[in-house]
Every structure is written in structure tokens, then in C-alpha cells.
Amino acid sequence: MRVLVVEDERNLADAIARGLRRQGMAVDVAYDGSTGHEMAFVTRYDVLVLDRDLPGMHGDDLCAELAASGTLTRVLMLTASGTVADRVEGLRLGADDYLPKPFAFDELVARVQALGRRATPPAPPVFSVADLVLDPAKRTVTRRGLPVELTNKEFGVLAELLKARGAVVSSEELLERVWDANTDPFTTIVRVTVMTLRRKLGDPPLIETVVGAGYRVLETAAA
């Protein structure tokens, strides 16, 4: 899941980003509304965690523009004011959820995860190909009924490949969906991660390299 945090309180923004990354999410941060606006319209995020009172461009204006654009990005609006009138106004602007400060981080994570599930077309609750099973909710992977221990990035890559249902996913798409904006676009990190993922999944191979195009999961694995 790709998340953008737009919050001018730097310590809070960085703390939110660190916490969400520990949950396996790819997180970018902007400290003002203008930068957040630019990032939100350049990269397709699943969820935008948006402070309402921002310098540069007000959070209300950014939220309204996103809603008008028809993007699938879901907006969780944050604000120091938690009155009913403020919540109603935020939702009218196009926010999908509203969380007053101060908030419990566990609640923030749960709301972001819930919005992330709504940001993409409906997917099966569990992905299964050949003898491989990935459960996004439990964050578990098994093959032949045995657990496969994956890092957050390996899990993210495998999930994106399974979501494609046999279609080719390019390295650029994987880099955008699983890593954050600080990752060097010329890095070999995707290739290395796929190589490690293949090794952990074992034989017969399930991930195929399509030269010059990317990677795909084989619908059936050769014996």
C-alpha cells in the first residue's frame, strides 16, 4: 500500500510515517499543502493522510481538488478540532474519513488499512495460485501448507504480482507500489528482491521474468 502523509508538524508527520512503514506500507511525506498537492497528482497513492490546517495550500482545498479529479486515492483528514460541524465539513469536501487530534496510533493504522482496501478494485480476501496462498489480512504466505517468511518488501512485491492475476507487472510499477519516493529509480532493488523472493518460494518456480517487460506469476507451476 502506498501512503502520502501531508502534515506540517514535522515530528508528528515523521512519527506517522515511521509507524506506517513498520506496518509494511510505502510512505512519502510532505510538510506543506503545496508540496502535498504536487505529490498527490504525480503519484497514485492508495491513501492520503491529510492535515486540515496546512501552510501553502489548505488541506480543504487539496481534498476538494482530489475529490473532483475522480482519483481512487482515499483521504483520511486530520485536524485539531473534533467538533461535529468540522467532521461534517471535511466529509462534504470529499474526505473519506476524519480523525481528530490527538489520536491513538492503532486507530490511525486501522483506518488507513480500511481506506486502503477501498482504494483499489475489489480483490479476493486470500490470493491462491498453484500451491501458494497469500493472506493480506493476516500477512501470511504459505506454500504446500508450510509458512514462508518474507520481509515487508518481499510480501509487497508478491502481493502486487498476485493482484495482477497473471499479467506482467513492470519493475517501475513494483517500485512505485512497494517502495517510497526516496528510492533511487535506477536501483536494482526490485530485481534483487524478486531474486530473493524466488529463492524463498522454492521450486517449481512461480515467478517468471518477461524480458524487457517485467514479472508475472505463473498460473500453474511446472512440476
Cell of 142: 504459505
> Quick check: 14 and 22 in contact, CB under 8 A?
no
Torsion of CA 108, 111, 114, 118, to 10 degrees: -110
Cis previous bond, 124, omega within 30: no
Residue from 198, 146, 154 nearest 178 by CA = 154
- Is the Cβ–Cβ distance between 29 and 100 less than 8 Å? no
Q: Are 141 and 158 in contact (CB under 8 A)?
A: yes
For cell 517487460, the residue is: 213
202 versus 90: the higher-pLDDT residue is 202
pLDDT digits (tens, 9 = 90+) for 161-184: 998 888 999 998 898 888 877 777
In this structure, of 25-34, 51-60, 108-117, 118-127, the range with the lowest mean pLDDT score is 118-127
* Alpha carbon distance 117, 124 (integer Å): 11
* Cell numbers for 151: 520481509
pLDDT tens track for 208-222: 999 989 999 987 654
A 10 A CB-CB count for 202 gives: 13
**Is residue 129's pLDDT more than 60?**
yes
CA 10 to chain centre: 21
SS3 state of residue 131: coil
Structural domains of the chain, ranges and CATH numbers in brackets: 2-118 (3.40.50.2300), 127-217 (1.10.10.10)
| Whole-model pTM over 0.85 | no
